[in-house]
Structure 1
């Protein structure tokens, strides 16, 4: 008799899912393109040129953001975790994965590091994580069994119990600075001396602004992540770039 095998984890979100999570934004962009092109023939020469320019700019932004999402989420090493060895060369040990409505980090971490202790905490709260895309993503990818609910000011994890904390595309969903500050303070509390926070984010920088346009303002600048980490008593260890659009930071708690 053959032994049943466990079902493989779901495929992490790619450009198809990104479109689904953010369809109102894409629908608005397509409407701007169609509206500008439809209005242009009815306008004077200068307004028509402006309408066509606006439509072309909207079309270019839709194309560049879609291509960037495909490059990062479908083609890069993001979910293979090949970049992680440079940040935690000895492995993550007992680790905490923090999500804010969409957890796609814990399955690949569990596969790459079997036998390590893993805890997943979800901070999803409609009052704090206000983006409609998060609600739509959460409906498609519900929390894994055993996921613990938490809040930025209360992670249900013992003090100094974690070797590594992962926050992958999670912290920027906390739109208020006090919530982010509370979360970083809690992360420091849960880390053992010498433990590491691995923070993965799109920073608001030139590269992301070039491809995502105004959408890049949903991201936080690099200086904000450095401010939060240093304010919580963590120091920078290293950074690595993924697909030229994502930065993985490693912050370390001092070995007291």
Structure 2
């Protein structure tokens, strides 16, 4: 099955999944505008607050449109350039938190390889409203299995490549991250790869998402987690200033 993305699907997803943020933001903005008729605001401060609110509401949408709709990310040319072997003896995993826009694309790029998809979502631990809404509209790859983040149901050294594409930041606790990555290391073959795509808690993403950048984690945090899990390499390549592609062995 091939998924054809709609125009502006990325930014529409952001609006839909985070609509609570935009509803509260617009209500707060309306109250601030209305308060001008009641309180004697200093003009400079008033306009500073207005501009800050508008910036915080619109900039994430502009950057999301750039990253997800105009950068070519979902063309997956960046993955094709990694020259991953495609053969019948190759076994790949794609692990997500229940919102899956990538499995059908991966299968199209690596048609001969076997692809198994796992979903580690736990309603008690992963409570972000955005991911709960995203799960309701996600397409499901055939034979997708629900798993615990600390137990991948495979034998040791069974997997050639594991894809973690904008998903494992939903694992909020550091100790859970490390346990999950230890499982990834356990099931990877000695020459296997873990390919992770994430926004980072860094300056470009602060500019893009303001306080929303705290939903992501720093490169230092990810590097520590991978090292603690036993990985020996951690290589980063930027895909736009706002997104990083990590290849770990």
User: Do Structure 1 and Structure 2 share a fold, with TM-score over 0.5?
Assistant: yes
Residue in 1 that maps onto 2:112: 115
- Do residues 53 (structure 1) and 41 (structure 2) align? no
- Which TM-score applies when normalising by structure 1? 0.90
Mark the runs of 5 or more structure 1 residues left unpaired by the alignment: 1-6
Q: Does the 8 A contact of 2:93 with 2:116 survive in 1?
A: yes
Is the contact between residue 85 and residue 91 of structure 1 (CA under 8 Å) also seen in structure 2? no
Give, in whole Å, the separation in 2 of the partners of 1:89 and 1:239. Answer: 17
3-state SS, counterpart of residue 159 of structure 1? coil
Separation in structure 2 between the aligned mates of residue 110 and residue 82 of structure 1, nearest angstrom = 14
Partner-residue secondary structure (3-state), 2:207: helix
Q: Measure how far apart 1:234 and its partner are.
A: 0.9
Alpha-carbon offset, residue 143 of structure 1? 3.0
Q: 1:73 aligns with which of 55, 68, 72?
A: 68
- Residue 171 (str. 1) matches residue 141 (str. 2): no
Q: Could you say what secondary structure the match of 1:166 adopts?
A: strand
Q: Distance in 1 between matches of 2:220 and 2:45?
A: 36
Give the one of 188, 191, 207 matched to 1:210. Answer: 207
User: Structure 1 158/9 Cα, relative in aligned 2: closer, same or farther at 3 Å?
Assistant: farther
Change in Cα spacing, 1:26 to 1:91, as seen in structure 2 (3 Å) is: farther
The worse-fitting range, judged by mean Cα deviation, of 69-78 and 92-101 is: 92-101
* Aligned mate of 2:31, from 7, 11, 35: 35
The CA distance in 1 between the partners of 2:179 and 2:80, in whole Å, is 28
Choose from 227, 237, 250 the match for 2:224.
227
Show CA shifts across 1:194-236 (max 9, x none): 1110010001110000010000000000011111111111122
1:154 is the counterpart of 2:155: no
Q: Residue 238 of structure 2 contacts residue 245 of structure 2 at CA under 8 Å; is this kept in 1?
A: yes
CA contact (8 A) 1:167 1:200 kept: yes
Aligned to 1:20, which of 13, 16, 28? 16
For the 8 Å contact 1:40–1:49, the answer to whether it is kept is: no
How far apart are 1:70 and its partner, in Å?
Answer: 0.4
How many residues align? The count is 245
Name stretches of at least 5 consecutive residues in structure 2 with no aligned partner: none
The corresponding residue for 2:188 is 191
Contact 1:77–1:242 (8 Å) recurs in 2: no
RMSD of aligned residue pairs (Cα, Å): 1.8
Report the 3-state secondary structure (helix = DSSP H, G, I; strand = E; otherwise coil) of the residue aligned with 2:197: strand
